[in-house]
Amino acid sequence: MIEFKNVSKTFILGKREINAVQDVSLQVNQGDIFGIIGFSGAGKSTLLRLVNMLERPTEGSIFIRDIDISKLSAKELRKQRSNIGMIFQNFNLLTSRSVSGNIAYPLKVAGYKKAEIKERVAELLAFVGLTDKAKDYPEQLSGGQKQRVGIARALASSPEVLICDEATSALDPDTTQEILKLLKKVNQELGITILLITHEMHVIQSICDKVAVMEDGRVIEKGEVFDVFTSPQHLTTQRFIQSVQQDLPSPSILQDWQATNGGKLYRVIFKGSVAVDPVLSTVTKQYDVGFNIVYGSVQELQERLFGNLIISFVGSEMNKQKVLEELDARVDIKEVKLR
Ligand SMILES: Nc1ncnc2c1ncn2[C@@H]1O[C@H](COP(=O)(O)OP(=O)(O)OP(=O)(O)O)[C@@H](O)[C@H]1O
Ligand SMILES: [Mg+2]
């Protein structure tokens, strides 16, 4: 649906060159909810602005379906743009127009007939759950309601793609979840491909199928959300993931644990349907070794289970060694390096 092929964008500021996007290649398939995450300045907004053609790439090509949008004329661009809806962190609503007026605006500009506009606006209001707010003005709305108007407006021209620049960053956690649910509905019921950028890992975790991590203009890691979450390769990715899932107890608890128990700690990771409990209890029983679960969590990610257990073993050194060898062959187990 959207393909970036070796895309770079360099801004020239006086004598300085800013490489905002560097050699990015990405493929977003039709029907994906594709998330791009990165710290401030990573180049996320620039990448989105290349998709809706507010910026032209310095190098490389961007395809939407099979059209190379980096080569379009101004007139062709305008036509293509209506195929891409966009929502923003600060909503960008017209304060002088009512909710209906805001949603109708892009349709008016595109030259739709009055009756058509009326019908379409009513349909969109119902879709985003704002029928009773049609005549209100933006200043009378909560943040979540404003973003619903933003979404309705972005959908007005029936685009195939919706791009979202930090669409929930200005909202509280509950409202964020409501808006994410609405985006999921946009994707599932209308079949719209969504490309979103965020600096919040929980947004990716909640609704995305695929994720790319950006740093200094480059994509440093990408893949299915489940795979990236369960085995992040890059340090930056690990930091983002730690922001949503603590995978180790706090240092003070670890210190307490070492002072009272001592010994080594191990991390067991299990993914999907592998039930780790029976494996652990069978193997330890066989060698007369006990085990303690010191810490752990089991989470659902993209409708699959992902577990992380921190355990210790009690028994003779020789038997513990045998247990470790046996477990190593059957589950993902590693010693936890304590600082
Ligand atoms: N029009 C511009 N002219 C010059 N430099 C720019 C321009 N737009 C962006 N940049 C620079 O490009 C880099 C990437 O900026 P961008 O806005 O894409 O980052 P971002 O990942 O969206 O950050 P944030 O999370 O803070 O929104 C930054 O160093 C920024 O200063
Ligand atoms: Mg940005």
Does residue 163 carry a pLDDT above 80? Answer: yes
Ligand 2 centroid to Cα of residue 228, in Å, is: 22
Residue of higher predicted confidence among 255 and 38: 38
Ligand 1 centroid to Cα of residue 217, in Å, is: 9
Residue showing tokens 């060898």: 325
Instruction: Identify the CA nearest to 153 among candidates 197, 209, 203, 110.
Output: 110
Mean pLDDT of 244-259: 80
Q: How far apart are CA 121 and CA 98, in angstroms?
A: 12
**Maximum mean pLDDT: which of 53-57, 78-82, 135-139:** 135-139
Q: Residue 171 in 3-state DSSP?
A: coil
**pLDDT computed for residue 77 by the predictor:** 85
**pLDDT computed for residue 218 by the predictor:** 97
138 lines ligand 1 (CB under 6 A): no
Mean pLDDT of 137-153: 96
Ligand 2 centroid to Cα of residue 44, in Å, is: 6
Q: How far apart are CA 223 and CA 276, in angstroms?
A: 25
Q: How far apart are CA 37 and CA 213, in angstroms?
A: 5
- Are 1 and 160 spatial neighbours (Cβ–Cβ below 8 Å)? yes
Q: What are 301-326's pLDDT values in tens digits? A: 888 888 888 899 999 999 999 999 99
Mean pLDDT of 95-106: 96
**pLDDT computed for residue 301 by the predictor:** 82
Q: Residue 167 in 3-state DSSP?
A: coil
> Looking at residue 202, what DSSP letter applies?
H
Does residue 255 carry a pLDDT above 90? Answer: no
Does residue 153 carry a pLDDT above 90? Answer: yes
Q: How far apart are CA 114 and CA 268, in angstroms?
A: 62
- Place 123 in a pLDDT band, splitting at 50, 70 and 90: very high
Residue from 18, 47, 90 to probe ligand 1 pocket by mutation (most atoms less than 8 Å from CB): 18
Does residue 272 carry a pLDDT above 80? Answer: no
Report residues near ion ligand 2: CB below 5 Å.
45
**pLDDT computed for residue 288 by the predictor:** 93
Mean pLDDT of 165-193: 95
Ligand 1 centroid to Cα of residue 27, in Å, is: 22
Name residues whose C-beta falls within 8 Å of residue 254's C-beta, 6 or more positions apart in sequence: 248, 265, 338
18 lines ligand 1 (CB under 6 A): yes
Q: How far apart are CA 281 and CA 262, in angstroms?
A: 22
> Looking at residue 232, what DSSP letter applies?
-
- Give nearest CA residue, ligand 1 atom 27: 40
Mean pLDDT of 287-291: 92
- Place 277 in a pLDDT band, splitting at 50, 70 and 90: low
- Are 248 and 336 spatial neighbours (Cβ–Cβ below 8 Å)? yes
Residue 269 zone, left/alpha/beta (φ > 0; ψ -120 to 50; rest): beta
- Place 274 in a pLDDT band, splitting at 50, 70 and 90: low
Q: What are 23-39's pLDDT values in tens digits? A: 999 999 999 999 999 99
* Phi/psi at 132 (5° precision): -80, -5
Lowest mean pLDDT among 72-86, 211-225, 245-259: 245-259
**pLDDT computed for residue 102 by the predictor:** 97
**pLDDT computed for residue 231 by the predictor:** 86
**pLDDT computed for residue 275 by the predictor:** 62
- Place 58 in a pLDDT band, splitting at 50, 70 and 90: very high
Sorted by where each starts, the structural domains of the chain and their CATH numbers stand as: 2-235 (3.40.50.300), 251-335 (3.30.70.260)
Chain mean position to CA 286? 43
Global model pTM greater than 0.85: yes
Does residue 339 carry a pLDDT above 80? Answer: no
Residue from 44, 48, 195 to probe ligand 1 pocket by mutation (most atoms less than 8 Å from CB): 44
- Give nearest CA residue, ligand 1 atom 31: 41
Average pLDDT, the chain: 91
Q: How far apart are CA 29 and CA 300, in angstroms?
A: 24
- Are 149 and 181 spatial neighbours (Cβ–Cβ below 8 Å)? no
